[in-house]
Amino acid sequence: MKIVTSVATALVLGFGAAAQAADVMLFTEDYAPLNFERDGQIVGLGADQVFEMMTRAGISYEAELTQWSRAIGQGEREANTCVFSTTHTEERDPKFKWIEPLATDRTILMRKKGNPIAPTTVAEAQAFRIGTQTGDYTVGLLESQGFGNIDLAPAQAATLKKLLGGRIDLMAASGAYFDTLVAEGAEVEEVLELSSSTMSLACSLQTDQELVDRMQAALQSMIDDGTQASITAKYQ
């Protein structure tokens, strides 16, 4: 578990008075290139935007890198708590206040490289065992598209291990995650695109609306002045 706390624009590691004074608690997961740990810091296409957003809005925060099921649960239950980078789905829409867009992304099915499994439609893919992680947006997406044989793991890394080990047939994930795996030399291939989506900062319904408005205004300023595009380019 990695903790980063910030009051105004100062970033430090660990707990203490700064953490206690934070306006907002942020949760995220290890899911490159959107959010991951590098040299003791939480970074990524989504993370860099969120932290810059908080700085511009003058909002102090504490950020924690944890398993997604815990992150999304905390973001849904706790006041002044947000989770990123969260796929904005129809099912999730009424459960959060949304600050967006951080990015747009695809959801795809991938296979182990060289595996002959090659569904060309959702109907064909439904015949296979599909892996993803507990609490991920892909669970609801798969269910809504009629998939019944869904294998859950606590993290995407565990699902990937199952895929490469032949314990599942296909793996559902974001296109950005797939691109990162390919760049790292993982033996995976894209099989089928399931959907396109918007990645967002999702805040609990109990989050102060004034804070939400400030975050959205800060994100819009980043889009307008090119900061979002610059951050995105760093991770492509």
Backbone dihedral region for residue 167 (phi beyond 0: left; psi -120 to 50: alpha; all else: beta): alpha
Fold of the domain spanning 2-104+199-234: D-Maltodextrin-Binding Protein; domain 2 (3.40.190)
Architecture of the structural domain at 105-196: 3-Layer(aba) Sandwich (3.40)
Handedness of CA 72, 28, 64, 97 (dihedral sign): negative
Q: Are 206 and 80 in contact (CB under 8 A)?
A: yes
pTM, to two decimals: 0.76
What pLDDT score was predicted for residue 6? 46
Annotated domain spans of the chain: 2-104+199-234, 105-196
107 forms bridges with which residues in the sheet?
A: 174, 195
* Pairing state between β 81-87 and 24-28: parallel
As given in the structure block, the two tokens for residue 101 are 């867009």
Length of the chain, please? 236
Per-residue model confidence as pLDDT tens digits over 81-103: 999 999 999 999 999 999 999 99
Helix (H) or strand (E) holding 61: strand 61-65
Residue in the structure block whose two tokens are 């400030």: 214
pLDDT < 50 stretches in the chain: 1, 5-19
d(CA 5, CA 119) in angstroms, rounded, equals: 45
Please check whether the two domains, 2-104+199-234 and 105-196, share a CATH topology. Answer: yes
How far apart are alpha carbons 53 and 68 in whole angstroms?
22
Contact call for residues 199 and 101 (beta carbons, < 8 A): yes
Largest distance between two CA atoms of the chain: 56
Q: Is 3 exposed, middle or buried (0-12, 13-18, 19+ CB in 10 A)?
A: middle
Which two structure tokens, joined as six digits, stand for 117? 């499994």
Contacts of 158 (CB under 8 A, 6+ apart): 133
